[in-house]
Amino acid sequence: MAGHSKWANIQHRKGRQDAVRGKLFSKFSKEITVAAKMGDPDPDKNPRLRLAIKEAKAQSMPKDNIERAIKKAMGGEGEDYEEIRYEGYGPNGVAVIVEAMTDNRNRTASTVRSTFSKNGGNLGETGSVGFMFERKGEISYPAEVGDGDTVMMAAIEAGAEDVESTEDGHVIWCVDSDLNDVATALEAELGESTSTKLVWKPVTTTEMDLEGMQKLMKLIDALEDDDDVQRVTTNFEASDEVMEQLGAE
């Protein structure tokens, strides 16, 4: 699997999702509020808001929290957040993209830079690692929806670009601007997905050993602990043996 998916699996195995659920909900609320303020508060008329709500529901965010975030936008409440992307290098030269929403650019930049420095990384200029990734739509389904051939055919019919099927499930990629249309077509054929979102998909990867992965996990944990940071993506690649050792910690 690509680094992005492996990291999600590590989080699941270590129970980290539950430990930071409150922080996750806060980040989802911010995204929902911003999406609703920038577009229409009706998710049927606002693809970005619809995707934000879908991802929040996939992480079991309560319906009341979602509705509260939308009402906050409709009432003109909340800060005016600026979306910023930071790029840099982590341990062993792994590429890292940090997406943030902030009402104070200087504060966020200072915190992100400091976090990189304290955890064996370096914050670079915009574009310093972006060329190692492609912006894609990513749709995930559990293994139970069908075998690889079934999902592949459904994905092709829906207009997707690529499919990766493993015993853990199916990951479908498409052009970023086609995500809403492809996800809607797939839902009609395969049912509701477990995740539908825009991601940075690595074009090239960096091989990591156990020590490097341990350092990288600390960096990602520290970055995600910042309330201004919405998501972190890396281009790491690691052997099954290294992943198993990490999962056993």
Q: Which domains does the chain have, with CATH numbers?
A: 82-131+204-247 (3.30.70.980)
The pLDDT, as a whole number, for residue 243 is 85
The pLDDT, as a whole number, for residue 74 is 84
Element housing 86 (H / E): strand 82-89
- Residue 193 · residue 140 · CB < 8 Å: yes
- Residues in the chain predicted with pLDDT less than 70, given as ranges, are 1-20, 77-79, 248-249
The pLDDT, as a whole number, for residue 7 is 47
Q: What is the DSSP string of 89-117?
A: E-GGG-EEEEEEEES-HHHHHHHHHHHHH
